[in-house]
Amino acid sequence: MSLDAILSRIDADLPQATERLLDLLRIPSISTDPAYKAECERAADWLVADLRALGVAAEKRATPGHPMVVGHVDGDGPHLLLYGHYDVQPVDPIELWDRDPFDPEVQDTAKGTVIRGRGAADDKGQLMTFVEACRAWKAETGRLPCKLTFFLEGEEESGSPSLVPFMTENADELKADLALICDTGLFDSRVPAITTMLRGLLGEELTITAPSRDLHSGMYGGIAMNPVRVLSKIIASLHDETGRVTVPGFYDGVPELPDELRQQWQGLAFDHARFLGDVGLSTPAGEQDRTPLEMIWARPTCEVNGIWGGYTGAGFKTVLPSQAHAKISFRLVGSQDPLAIRESFRKMVTEMLPPDCEVEFKGHGASTAGAFDTSDPAFEAARQALSQEWPDPAAYIGCGGSIPIAGHFARITETTPMLIGFGKDDDQLHSPNEKYDMESFHKGIRSWARVLDALTRAA
């Protein structure tokens, strides 16, 4: 078998691969919104059919939520599992999209050719990079590179409620030598990356109720407790003036960056002025004594993701609201314990409540951070393979986002996760006008062919 021949086939097949991706992007598989349940099923069916076309024994597997797609193919060499997610984020605010998010298209822009549409980068475009690499492999050699398991999820963007039960029930089936996860990014457009650190995530929603109904703010203003005021004060107190989070015990389990990693990251020459400049900002806003890369990859955060209450419609209404709401998330690092932080946060909020106020909490996802061992020689083999494809050598990097399944592989199926992806910082994940660069897609497919080749040879 010749890797060059597979790479040439990938180049020649790029237009068709792009059409297939556009087809998948047309399915609005928004996992968090029950109105799109049938669309999630449709995306799973699409993938089952596509994998079957590759000779993979693939099935849609029911869960209490959206289905998993699981496929197996036998072969020699290492057993590799390929994970991606076919669900996408909601599209709002829809008015900020330049086109229908589910009518994707290839666009030529000043910064190159992009595939525009919801899910292009997160994660349909990425998961199709390894499917397409497998397709080219099969077309060229008549078989797939080694023993493979495909595991594609449909609830990643909504906290993966069915994932742990499914992985626990099917632990033997989902065990492999390595779990390749394609849901992360490049370091920059020259430097490919293997992500070795992910932050954990804790979501909390709170509702503060004061008066039993909305009131006229003239009739009651001044004498009645206003829950929006109470909530604002609580939110304002979650950080001190140096940017540290004030929830008691929050920093328990937060490690200092090891010197080796600090040096490695210094070598990456992260241009924070450009990173912030791209989104109209200039000044790092995290803990004052931390470097910009530490702020994103190695420090925990507390962010308000949404806050509402009272009258927010057109015009003006003199209302003193009965309720105020907020959604708050914490990114976690090291061995921070999400459940202990949840408890401490709730206690802190409850203790801050003035008379006549009540608070109700709703917990969203809770996942710990992950730091993955790279001592397996497969990592160096994969790093070298990636370095062949991109202008500069591949780096081991951190990621500010959360991919809880990486930790589940390590814990539940004792499978080492290896996170490789080709997204870029300006892909607008979770935002309007999401895109995936054609370069990410094309070189991503080529990268997987090289990595699969390296991993099957290394074994």
What is the C-alpha to C-alpha distance for residues 194 and 395, in angstroms, rounded to an integer?
6
CB of 123 or CB of 188, closer to ligand BES: 123
Give CA 329 to chain center in angstroms: 14
Residue 105: strand pairing partners: 116
201 contributes a contact to ligand BES by CB under 6 A: yes
What is the C-alpha to C-alpha distance for residues 198 and 397, in angstroms, rounded to an integer?
9
Beta carbons within 8 Å of 166's beta carbon, 6+ residues apart:
61, 63, 68
List 71, 84, 101, 185, residue binding ligand BES (CB under 6 A): 185
What is the C-alpha to C-alpha distance for residues 425 and 16, in angstroms, rounded to an integer?
26
Structure tokens at 448: 């997987």
CB of 10 or CB of 194, closer to Zn ion: 194
* Helix segments in 279-421, DSSP class H: 292-297, 338-352, 377-389, 404-412
List 39, 50, 183, 188, residue binding Zn ion (CB under 5 A): 183
What is the C-alpha to C-alpha distance for residues 96 and 273, in angstroms, rounded to an integer?
25
Residue 398: strand pairing partners: 197
261 contributes a contact to ligand BES by CB under 6 A: no
CB of 9 or CB of 342, closer to ligand BES: 342
Amino acid at 37: K
122 contributes a contact to ligand BES by CB under 6 A: yes
Stretch that binds Zn ion, among 179-187, 299-307, 313-321, 363-371 (CB under 5 A): 179-187
Q: How far is CA 159 from CA 35, 254, 432, in A?
A: 17, 23, 21
Stretch that binds ligand BES, among 112-120, 171-179, 183-191, 255-263 (CB under 6 A): 183-191
List 159, 284, 321, 398, residue binding ligand BES (CB under 6 A): 159
List 365, 432, 458, 459, residue binding ligand BES (CB under 6 A): 365
CB of 79 or CB of 435, closer to ligand BES: 435
For the bound state, the minimum distance from the C-beta of residue 425 to ligand BES, rounded and expressed in Å, comes to: 8
What is the C-alpha to C-alpha distance for residues 422 and 427, in angstroms, rounded to an integer?
10
Q: Which of residues 367-426 bind Zn ion (CB under 5 A)?
A: none
Helix (H, G, I), strand (E, B) or coil at 215: strand
402 contributes a contact to ligand BES by CB under 6 A: yes
List 132, 153, 155, 183, residue binding ligand BES (CB under 6 A): 183
Convert 380-410 into a string of H (helix), E (strand) and C (coil).
HHHHHHHHHHCCCCCEEEEECCCCHHHHHHH
157 contributes a contact to ligand BES by CB under 6 A: yes
401 contributes a contact to ligand BES by CB under 6 A: yes
List 140, 153, 156, 389, residue binding ligand BES (CB under 6 A): 156
For the bound state, the minimum distance from the C-beta of residue 340 to Zn ion, rounded and expressed in Å, comes to: 27
Q: Which of residues 90-129 bind Zn ion (CB under 5 A)?
A: 122-123
CA-based nearest residue to 198, from 398, 5, 60, 426: 398
115 contributes a contact to ligand BES by CB under 6 A: no
Residue 337: strand pairing partners: none
Proportion of the chain in helix, strand, coil states, percent, rounded to 5:
35, 25, 40
For the bound state, the minimum distance from the C-beta of residue 122 to ligand BES, rounded and expressed in Å, comes to: 5
114 contributes a contact to ligand BES by CB under 6 A: no
**What does the DSSP assignment read for 229-295?**
HHHHHHHHTTB-TTS-B-STTTTTT-PPPPHHHHHHHHTT---HHHHHHTTT--S--S-TTS-HHHH
For the bound state, the minimum distance from the C-beta of residue 242 to ligand BES, rounded and expressed in Å, comes to: 25
434 contributes a contact to Zn ion by CB under 5 A: no
Phi, psi of 444 (to 5 degrees): -65, -45
CB of 51 or CB of 399, closer to ligand BES: 399
155 contributes a contact to Zn ion by CB under 5 A: no
Q: Which of residues 369-398 bind ligand BES (CB under 6 A)?
A: none
Q: Tell me 56's DSSP state.
A: -
CB of 137 or CB of 409, closer to ligand BES: 409
What is the binding site for Zn ion (CB under 5 A)?
122-123, 183
What is the binding site for ligand BES (CB under 6 A)?
122-123, 156-157, 159, 183-185, 201, 365, 399, 401-404, 423, 429
